[in-house]
A and B are shown apart, each in its own frame.
Chain A
Amino acid sequence: TDAKRSNVAAPPQSALATARIISDINAVAYPEGVSSPRPELNENAKEGKFRYDREFLLQFMSICKEKPAMLPPLDAIGLEPVDQSSLGLTR
């Protein structure tokens, strides 16, 4: 399927947009060093209705950094960081 992989990277959101939903969380094998969700959280899980513990979720933090395609410009909705110097922080 990767017949014509070019030098140009695919649009970054393509994997997220085309990835399918995991249907059986217990069938997923994670690479060494990555923990599965705590099994007791999903003992009787219905398809796609999974619970995740914090330690499991935190593992994604440094990997999933892609800005969501649907995120509006933050300043357009008044979501702007305050000037840190005005907080009187001394670092």
Chain B
Amino acid sequence: MYDVIIVGGGIIGCALARELSRYNVRLALLEKEVEVGFGTSKTNSGIIHAGHHSPPGTLKGQFEWSGNQLWGDLAKELKFGFKHIGELLIAQKREDLQYLENLKKQGDSRGVTGLEMWGPKRIQKEEPNLSHTILKALHAPTAAVINPYEACFGLIECAKQNGLELFCDHPVQSIKRERDNFSIATPRGSFRARIILNAAGLFADHVAAMVGAKTFSISPRKGEEYLLDRRLQGIVTHLIFPTPTATSKGVLIIPTVDGPTMVGPTAEDIDDREDLSTSYSGAADVFAAVRKTCPAISERDTITEFAGLRAVSESNDFIIKRSPVKNFYNIAGIQSPGLTAAPVIATYVINMLRDNDLSLVKKQTWKADIDGPPRFAAMSPKDRKAAIHKDSAFGQIVCRCELVTEAEVLYAIKHGARTLDGVKFRVRAGMGRCQGGFCTTRLMDLLAQADEIPLSEITKRGKGSEICIQRHDIIPKKDDR
């Protein structure tokens, strides 16, 4: 019997888990994928928004700036990459200038610091590779970049060390009300809880419907992103936003926290909640838009592409409230700036729980920070020497494109990586320009050794995505010679 069960291990579920782990409650998180952060969060652009974008009078507007200010400390405590690179929202048409002015006012009135309007000269000085047709840009120095999946891994590790019980590969199949409690069924056992926090992302309406708490519906909005070769690292140094359209912030140029530049996303409303496919038209749209702002970027520089799905509610705002069913809370429709808002959403939800008769007593031993994974690529030569001296596995490069050592891969496996994607998103092995061509078999060997399983049981991201088969698995063709 748990006091609280969180359904969904995306950025929201993970932030809730860490925040709740401060208190003396018996806490569990159920995630349908094999690892946390493997849904929408994995494909998020990784932007901590500056604070001025979202309109007032919405939860988005309420949380964007307050969320922004929490990420720097979170990154320090949870040892994930965080860079305050700032943002430029550019106007290329006269009619866009008013939008910039309005946005500046909106930000200033909210207390967003450092907002500044730049003219062409300043823009050319700071970002010489941007189009020369840009009339003005609104500079917001508070914008930052992170890796959303690293944040998930850090949050969940911290929550685990403070008592969270994590159950991955546990999709929720049904929820029953049993007197004052809930019984949650999964293919791998059932769980009982007093309180359920529904953070099931794209499937939050489905989960809510299981207890008759569906007061909203979610529709997926697809975004395709294109990651460029490290050769183009530094082509822009700020996040570059065009003036947005009605449905989307537009196609951005994102200097990711690891260095490589990424362009995207598209915004396309679709029906299928698992359609993560990329398309010819997506690529064409992204690069056509990017060429307008930064002509030097070409589709030829792509090393990989992917798609993600935003969980959009019909209100277009976050849904964070008690449901008609007592002790069942929906935290849904968390689209942009959901990542930015996540840590504030977590405290907001906890205040809501407190107001609703959950007695929350702080633990005496709560530990805010984690040791965090080692990062050989980021070490100084001196630190590298010391690391190799202490553990010779740091002397073994596994992924040459991103300079990842065996020691880091083993650390990732020890801390929960069960799949190739799990390793890749924790340590970057396989994320570089060869896209795993050289390191895949090495990573498979390490995973197989750690779990004492044959290579054929190793998956890309869970059952059904095995990488290889054994020779004896071949079913001979009847008409074989």
Q: Do A and B bind each other?
A: no
